Amino acid sequence: MAMTLAEKILAAHSGRERVEPGELLEVSVDFCLGNDITAPIAIKAFREAGVEKVFDPERIALVPDHFVPNKDIASAMQVKMLRDFAREQGISHYFEVGRMGIEHALLPEQGLVLPGDVVIGADSHTCTYGALGAFATGVGSTDLAAAMILGTTWFKVPASVKFVYRGKRKPWVGGKDLILHTIGQIGVDGARYMAMEFTGPVVEDLPMSHRMTMSNMAIEAGAKVGLIAPDQVTHDYVAGRARRPFVFHHSDPEARYEAVYEWDVSQLDPMVALPHLPENVKPVTELPEIPIDQVVIGSCTNGRLDDLREAAAVLKGRKVSDHVRCIVIPATQRIYRQAMDEGLLQIFLEAEAAVSTPTCGPCLGGHMGILAQGERAVATTNRNFVGRMGHPESEVYLSSPAVAAASAVLGRIAHPDEVR
């Protein structure tokens, strides 16, 4: 009867004592979400279904975060659809500009997604909440519409893959480096429709922000979810913010895994994913001199307070290279205020970086940092596909906040130790 963490959550939400990989299940949904790109399609499908009310207005969030503050008339109209629908349906978790944040940083911060939950979102990086021990995954907009109507969705139970990280991390090595290393080892389809389970002493030692970074990029390995078993770190994070009860599930010791990977990461250096795939990973110490034009520090992957602290530690007392644009984007209003209170924004401004209100903006090539033909960016974001941040002939290199900050100072991809 042994089950993995993913299987236990799905069993609990389907009224089953046991589930196995490959089974099709209808499960109850604890929370669902959409943004200004995906929710308008879901709202249209909701109306076409002829339904008058959502299943539970307290279990739905609408977060305009991609093209906000509105970049043009079309984006303004999409956000208006969300705003009007939220008012009509009594959805209190609609987050207007000024209260809004990047959804996958905002919802955990607000205590709306919790351990043991099943969460679906019309955004592929919904898997971020796996860091809390939730079965959280991205779905299409029509699936979101169905869940807003029914309060349920269906899944094929995924097989699980365990990743065990041992050793002692070097300075400047964190969750971003661990997940880039992992994707580099297994490839962008190495965990396709599987539950990645991140374990081991190194993961247990990570703060929640770094855990969220790892779970966030599970989708870049093709995974359905990216899970970390809840522990004291999890409890400390959710206890003061949870809006409802939560449940800790853990894999059984005898649980079956499709594969188990074990790595000693003691010698792992900060990692960089080169264009045009997140699997194209190399240690920063092995890269030739690569000049850059832009740095983006932020996103649902690395826009949390710990990330900004890391970047500020490198930038303090230094200037961004005179041929580089450095854009810093705190992921939520609360993080923005905390960064201001700690003096981090002053460090960024004195370094001659630009600080933005929360937005996904440049990550998806939306606005607030589009690349021109031939330009290169180092970004703490999650994808570096062709044209991801702008022109099809631009390039994006993925890294941690520390590497991004060092690169901004030196005008080329750099190790943080090179500027300290």
Which structure tokens are listed for 191?
């965990």
* Residue 32 marked ligand-binding: no
Which structure tokens are listed for 347?
């460090």
* Residue 300 marked ligand-binding: yes
Instruction: For residues 251 and 1, give the distance between their C-alpha atoms in angstroms, rounded to a whole number.
Output: 11
CB atoms within 10 A of CB 355: 20
Contact 348, 318 (CB under 8 A): no
- Looking at residue 129, its amino acid is Y
Instruction: For residues 274 and 292, give the distance between their C-alpha atoms in angstroms, rounded to a whole number.
Output: 13
Instruction: For residues 89 and 149, give the distance between their C-alpha atoms in angstroms, rounded to a whole number.
Output: 12
Half-sphere exposure of 261 (CA within 13 A, CB side): 19
Instruction: For residues 311 and 315, give the distance between their C-alpha atoms in angstroms, rounded to a whole number.
Output: 6
Using CA of residue 169, residue 173, residue 179, residue 185, what is the dihedral sign?
negative
Which structure tokens are listed for 210?
């770094």
Distance set, CA 233 to CA 111, 160, 211, 239 (Å): 15, 23, 10, 10
Helix (H) and strand (E) counts for the chain?
A: 14, 18
Which structure tokens are listed for 324?
């580089």
Q: Mention every residue, 6+ apart, whose C-beta is less than 8 A from residue 357.
A: 69, 97, 329, 336
* Residue 127 marked ligand-binding: no
Instruction: For residues 209 and 335, give the distance between their C-alpha atoms in angstroms, rounded to a whole number.
Output: 12
Q: CA end-to-end span of the chain, whole Å? A: 53
Contact 135, 6 (CB under 8 A): yes
Binding residues for [4Fe-4S] cluster: 300, 360, 363
Binding residues: 300, 360, 363
